[in-house]
Amino acid sequence: MSQSSMVVARLYEHIGPIDRGTRYEDPLDAALRAASLGEVTGGGSQLGALGEIEFADVEIQAANLDDALPVIVDVLQRSGAPVGSQLLVAGSVIREFGEQQSVAVYLDGTTLPDEVYANLDFDDLVARLTEAAGPDSYHGYWGGPEETGLFFFGRDAESTFSALETVLRQMPIGQNARVVIRATRNPVLDRTLRMPRH
């Protein structure tokens, strides 16, 4: 695999184009160019039925795949790549990587009292949850028709949830939130729960 290759890094998380560029594409492009191993040439997202991003792709032109592979994996993992991320060449998976497990908090957007929504300071909510979960844990949000998803990552999903749970129980908007704890990319192994109402 010493010839030039087009590689796709597939990241299984909800992350928008701007954040994808900042978190993954820019540092990877800089590292590859500095080592004369290639460049990032583009990216894209796959949307689910409700518009939530199911995965994001980063397209890479590698001058020498054997040499570029460890750099790609190292940079993306240090940038926060989730477990089950994949490197693909010609549509085939050549390697899985990623160390971050996820906790998705889906806030109830329809059944809580009106004053809960009227008094919500979204930025404060994100700041408090991020402080609890740890630096760089927050990877963005998704606004759906009935829920708003907030996505957090850490080395251990259960520990991340334990940190988030305290804040969610304290804040009115945390009531009835649907929380999905993902230690792997296999949805069968997800743990889903509902936060109690006050």
Asked if 33 and 107 sit in the same domain, the reply is no
**112 and 173 share one domain:** yes
**Domain-ending residue, one of 97, 129, 144:** 97
Pair 83, 108 in one domain: no
Determine the structural domain holding residue 134 and report its residue range: 101-194
Of the residues 97, 112, 128, which one is the last residue of a structural domain? 97
What rounded mean pLDDT belongs to the chain? Answer: 94
Q: How far apart are CA 20 and CA 185, in angstroms?
A: 19
Domain boundary among 69, 97, 125: 97
> Do 93 and 109 have their domain in common?
no
Instruction: Give the CATH number for residue 125.
Output: 3.30.70
Burial of 128 per CB tally in 10 Å (0-12, 13-18, 19+):
middle
Q: Are 131 and 152 in contact (CB under 8 A)?
A: no
What does the pLDDT look like over 48-82, one tens digit per residue?
888 889 999 999 999 999 999 999 999 999 999 99
pLDDT at 127 over 90: yes
How far apart are the C-alpha atoms of 167 and 97, rounded to whole Å? 31
